[in-house]
Amino acid sequence: MQSAIEGLKPEPVWRYFAEISRIPRGSKNEAAVAQYVMDTAKRLGLEAKQDASGNVLVKKPASPGRESVPSVALQGHLDMVCEKNADKDHDFMKDPIELVRKDRVLMANGTTLGADNGTGVATALAIMEDRSLVHGPLEFLFTVDEETGLTGAANLEPGFLDSRILLNLDTEEEGALYIGCSGGVDTLGTWKADYKDAPSGHVTAQLKVAGLRGGHSGLDIDKGRGNAIKILTRVLLALDALGARIASVSAGSKHNAIPREADAVVLIPKKMIDEATNTVQQLATTLRAEVATVDPDLVVSLEKVKGKRKAAVLKKGLQRKLLQTLSAMPHGVVKMSAEISGLVETSTNLAVINTTKKSISMVTSQRSSAASEIQEIAQTVASVLELGGAEIGSTHSYPGWKPNPDSAIVKLSRSTYASMYGREPLVKAVHAGLECGLLGEKYPAMDMVSIGPTLEAVHSPDEKIYIDTVEKFWNFLLAVLRNVG
């Protein structure tokens, strides 16, 4: 791991990034990395505290002569999305992330990298350490469980922060200032599983969809990438017409990730197995052509299962309702913003489907920069689920962050970047949930901007960080801290 970051600058940022990459830190498993931050603060002689939710706050005094400057909070989240390729043997509860350098990018070996938001955390730790920097009083807020619903920020202890200026370090485009984000909600559907004994005269086969890029359900929703659940559904509908029966379905694992892989165990009448095989092959060719530009590695396969066949299949009525619901379920961009060019305003993601012995569960995620449109698209999804006979639920509701291009910290950041790099930074909003929305609710006077280096394909094993952008981001952040006040 050390060789992957050897010689990279700024050295302390990459050193800390490598250190936290050794610590398992999936959402809701941040205790060890939170303790690492507390121990680092103690080693550096800095005041630190932790609230009941696990969020950590570290305070660093102003550099000499800067004591009267307004306090600034630097904020990032400790957790990461845990996704891996199907053929990768990796336990996110105990195994370190394996860092791999490829030319000008850093990636992980078959898993998510955790640069979202490991770079923000590492940057904050490096600033905590460096006593040569010029800045006013600083607070470092490390939140937990951002990726599964922003619950750390939502449950932040009242009065935890003193600062009224906040720099969020969790966006993914160097040279851009993010000043707004979408809000969102997850809409859930659950059916009581209803099985019957497997019919005789059938062949058990496994249907697989693999090779898709997936990605972040907000940032990548407009890229036209394939959704493994929607692709699987199209093939299952074709097999259903041939008399196939579904024994199990499994696809997706995160509410905020476009599903990359899916599989189903199906029982196909023996007399139809050749036609079923040909049907899947033909559909695979069609589907690959549809997504060739964005997902050239798509694989759709049907293989006979050796050994004992499945003991039960979904009853025909439930199977039909499930397939119709999946087919009718919207996925993708619903509306583009009329105010900000290129910004997705509203979207929905069909994220997870799983069958168990007792139930069938579906997870979808809706986002919008307009609260009323979140309600509308969530109602649309709920209506589809209700028509399909599912019990409806919801979770992970979070507010958006309304852009304020005239804020003092935004103006300061714009002028600082322009003076450093000879061009204006982009000023944007993001179609994703940032903790700024929740922090703005808790601290209505908080003046905020979000910045970061350039990342790609977050929430997937293709996640990468562009190495040269980290130094630019670091230098810009330090300049903003110097210029505050």
Backbone angles phi, psi at 66, to 5 degrees: -115, 20
Catalytic residue check, 186: no
Question: For residues 59 and 139, is the Cβ–Cβ distance under 8 A?
Answer: yes
Q: Is the pLDDT of residue 309 over 70?
A: no
| Predicted model pTM | 0.78
HSE at residue 153, side-chain half, CA atoms within 13 A, is: 27
Q: Which of 426, 367, 375, 350 is nearest to 401 (CA)?
A: 367
N-terminal to C-terminal alpha carbon distance within the chain: 40
Residue 3, pLDDT score: 86
Lowest mean pLDDT among 41-45, 224-228, 303-307, 313-317: 303-307
Tokens read off for 399: 């507010």
Q: What's the confidence (pLDDT) of residue 396?
A: 76
- The pLDDT tens digits of the residues spanning 210-237 come to 999 999 999 899 999 999 999 999 999 9
Residues 48-59: what's their mean pLDDT?
98
Range of weakest confidence among 42-46, 274-278, 346-350, 367-371? 367-371
Q: What percent of the chain has pLDDT over 90?
A: 90
Q: Calculate mean pLDDT across residues 9-21.
A: 98
List the one residue out of 262, 154, 246 whose CA is nearest residue 211: 262
**Confidence band of 127 (pLDDT split at 50, 70, 90):** very high
pLDDT of the residue at 313:
97
> Residue 6 above 60 pLDDT?
yes
pLDDT tens string 249-291: 999 988 989 999 999 999 999 999 999 999 999 999 999 999 9
> Tell me, what DSSP letter sits at residue 330?
-
Burial class of residue 202 in the structure, from the number of CB atoms within 10 Å of its CB (0-12 exposed, 13-18 middle, 19+ buried): buried
Output the pLDDT for position 268: 97
Question: Tokens 């979808």 — which residue?
Answer: 364
Catalytic residue among 139, 145, 146, 463: 146
Q: What is the mean pLDDT of residues 100-121?
A: 97
Helix (H) or strand (E) segment spanning residue 154: helix 151-154
Q: Which of 30, 79, 170, 373 is catalytic?
A: 79
Q: Distance (Å, rounded) from C-alpha 414 to C-alpha 82?
A: 34
| pLDDT for residue 1 is more than 60 | no
CA-based radius of gyration for the chain: 24
321 pLDDT above the threshold of 60: yes
Burial class of residue 318 (count of CB atoms within 10 Å of its CB; 0-12, 13-18, 19+): buried
Strands 262-269 and 464-466: unpaired
Confidence band of 310 (pLDDT split at 50, 70, 90) = low
248 pLDDT exceeds 70? Answer: yes
Determine what percent of the chain is predicted with pLDDT higher than 70.
99
Please report which confidence band the pLDDT of residue 311 belongs to, taking 50, 70 and 90 as the band edges. Answer: confident
Three-state DSSP at 320 gives helix
CA dist 291 and 289 (Å) reads 6
pLDDT in tens, 384-432: 999 999 999 998 788 999 889 899 999 999 999 999 999 999 999 989 8
Annotated catalytic residue 79 = yes
